[in-house]
């Protein structure tokens, strides 16, 4: 079994609608937050999602996370137990009033770069906004895929940041009034090629490994997704970018590169023409079940590869699931070995689940 990563305690100060909140589930494998809509349940999960590299599960600006009407800035403090044989690690992240868009991190009281978060835990999450992921634009699926990659390869975020920065700089040069310096353009295209190749390789490896893991899952309550990566960049991306300068100048954007890739998902158990049904054509309930199947398989893959089960954040995950699938989800989650944080408006949907339970109302969290 992988090491049971868990958050022993979580404290929020000035975060969203939580002026001061402390939750202490200890080593409970399931943590359940219930309460009405708008009470602050998702805000707790968002705070947890800041314990890994990235912009959190909502992807919003840091300045929007501070308590409205407060003094500005916020703090998220977590006592993380990454291994039963090791002492807890105290992670603190947040912003200061005079720098609301600059996130800081300390590990056991010492300042650390945000990249250090990848050393302590991996996370996967699901939110109601992802229910129609397969029917949305390709950009949403790329972000979802990159989160899956990041759980296996923390350095993926650095390549994505550097690729995007070089791409934006190239577009500014191409669309400027003055002719662009070819040497400068070539340098930016070389950077895009270097980091783009790393992005493409990490995505391809993740998709192939995850697709194989999904194919090996026994038949059960959840449908079987099949995954493929579409629109992979050419082998010589630098040359392709040079050739596309005129087109990209007219378009005002780069038209070739890994930022154009897409995660293709099909319902492997349902035929559609000569192949399998695209996930986008499945019912809303089936799309949610396909998404859950992907997350469960990926969580198991992360645990197998790293020896440490990821933290799972599931926001309203059981909504619209029938009783059989709800019980199947709880059973599968229990086998993963990591801690799972769940939210819901109806506590009856979690009947029989052994969990540390908390009631959330107007930014206040109380144990049940």
Q: What was the pLDDT predicted at 122?
A: 87
Q: Does position 340 have pLDDT exceeding 90, yes or no?
A: yes
Q: Does position 320 have pLDDT exceeding 90, yes or no?
A: no
Whether the Cβ atoms of residue 188 and residue 131 lie closer than 8 Å to each other: no
Q: Does position 70 have pLDDT exceeding 80, yes or no?
A: no
Q: Is 270 exposed, middle or buried (0-12, 13-18, 19+ CB in 10 A)?
A: middle
Say how many C-beta atoms besides its own lie within 10 A of residue 75's C-beta.
Answer: 17
The mean per-residue pLDDT over the stretch 211-231 comes to 94
Q: What is the pTM of this model?
A: 0.92
Q: Please state, for a pLDDT cut of 70, what percent of the chain lies above it.
A: 99
Q: Does position 17 have pLDDT exceeding 60, yes or no?
A: yes
* Those residues with Cβ within 8 angstroms of residue 359's Cβ, 6 or more apart along the chain or in another chain: 34, 35, 365, 366, 367, 368
Distance, CA of 57 to CA of 34 (rounded, Å): 19
The mean per-residue pLDDT over the stretch 237-260 comes to 98
Q: Does position 308 have pLDDT exceeding 90, yes or no?
A: no
Per-residue pLDDT band at 4 (split at 50, 70, 90): low
Q: Please state, for a pLDDT cut of 90, what percent of the chain lies above it.
A: 83
| Residue of 217, 204, 213 lying closest to 145 (CA atoms) | 204
| Secondary structure in 3-state letters for the chain | CCECCEEEEEEEEEECCEEEEEECCCCCCEEEEECCCCCCHHHHHHHHHCCCCCCCCCCCCHHHHECCCCCCCEEEEEEEECCCCCCCEEEEEEEECCEEEEEEEEECCEECCHHHHHHCCCEEEECHHHCCHHHCCHHHHHHHHHHHHHHHCCCHHHHHHHHHHHHHHHHHHHHCCCCCCHHHHHHHHHHHHHHHHHHHHHHHHHHHHHHHHHHCCCCCCCCCEEEEEECCCCCCHHHHHHHCHHHHHHHCCCCCCHHHCEEEEEEEEEEECCEEEEHHHCCHHHHHHHHHHHHHHHHHHHHHHHCECCEEEEECCCCCCCHHHHHHHHHHHHHHCCCEEEEECCHHHHCCCCCEEEEEECCEEEEC
Q: What was the pLDDT predicted at 154?
A: 86
Specify the residue for token string 């040359």: 239
Q: Does position 341 have pLDDT exceeding 70, yes or no?
A: yes
| Residue of 201, 209, 200, 199 lying closest to 294 (CA atoms) | 209
Q: What is the mean pLDDT of the chain?
A: 94
Distance, CA of 242 to CA of 248 (rounded, Å): 10
Beta-strand relationship, 340-344 and 311-315: parallel
Q: What was the pLDDT predicted at 71?
A: 76
Report how far apart the first and last C-alpha atoms of the chain are (Å, whole number).
Answer: 30
Q: For the segment 156-180, what is each residue's pLDDT rounded down to a tens digit?
A: 999 999 999 999 999 999 999 998 8
Whether the Cβ atoms of residue 123 and residue 310 lie closer than 8 Å to each other: yes
Q: What was the pLDDT predicted at 159?
A: 96
Q: What was the pLDDT predicted at 72?
A: 83
Specify the residue for token string 């979580």: 10
Q: What was the pLDDT predicted at 120?
A: 81
Q: Does position 187 have pLDDT exceeding 80, yes or no?
A: yes
Q: Does position 2 have pLDDT exceeding 70, yes or no?
A: no
């Amino acid at each position: 079994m992988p090491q049971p990563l868990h958050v022993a305690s979580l404290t929020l100060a000035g975060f969203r609608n939580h002026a001061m909140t402390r939750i202490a589930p200890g080593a409970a494998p399931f943590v359940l937050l219930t309460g009405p809509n708008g009470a602050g349940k998702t805000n707790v999960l968002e705070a947890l999602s800041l314990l890994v590299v990235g912009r959190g599960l909502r992807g919003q600006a840091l300045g929007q996370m501070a308590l409205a009407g407060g003094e500005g800035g916020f703090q998220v403090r977590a006592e993380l137990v990454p291994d039963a044989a090791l002492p807890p690690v105290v992670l603190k992240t947040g912003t200061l009033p005079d720098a609301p868009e600059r996130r800081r991190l300390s590990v056991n009281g010492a300042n650390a770069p945000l990249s250090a978060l990848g050393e302590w835990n991996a996370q996967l999450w699901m939110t109601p906004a992802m229910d129609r992921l397969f029917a949305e634009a390709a950009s949403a699926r790329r972000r979802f895929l990159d989160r899956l990659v990041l759980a296996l390869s923390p350095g993926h975020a650095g390549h994505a940041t550097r690729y995007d920065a070089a791409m934006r700089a190239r577009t500014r040069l191409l669309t400027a009034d003055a002719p662009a310096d070819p040497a400068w353009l070539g340098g930016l295209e070389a950077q895009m090629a270097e980091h783009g190749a790393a992005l493409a390789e990490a995505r391809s490896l993740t998709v192939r490994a995850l697709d194989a893991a999904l194919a090996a899952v026994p038949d059960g309550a959840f449908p079987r997704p099949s995954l493929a990566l579409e629109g992979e960049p050419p082998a010589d991306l630098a040359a392709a970018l040079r050739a596309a300068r005129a087109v990209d100048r007219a378009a005002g954007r780069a038209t070739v590169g890994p930022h154009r890739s897409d995660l293709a998902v099909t319902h492997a158990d349902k035929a559609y023409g000569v192949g399998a049904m695209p996930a986008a054509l499945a019912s809303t309930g089936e799309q949610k079940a396909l998404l859950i199947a992907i997350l469960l398989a990926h969580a198991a893959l992360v645990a197998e590869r790293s020896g440490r089960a990821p933290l799972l954040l599931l926001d309203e995950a059981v909504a619209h699931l029938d009783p059989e699938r709800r019980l199947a989800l709880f059973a599968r989650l229990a086998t993963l070995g990591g801690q799972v944080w769940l939210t819901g408006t109806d506590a009856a949907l979690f009947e029989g689940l052994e969990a540390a339970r908390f009631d959330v109302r107007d930014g206040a969290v109380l144990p049940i």
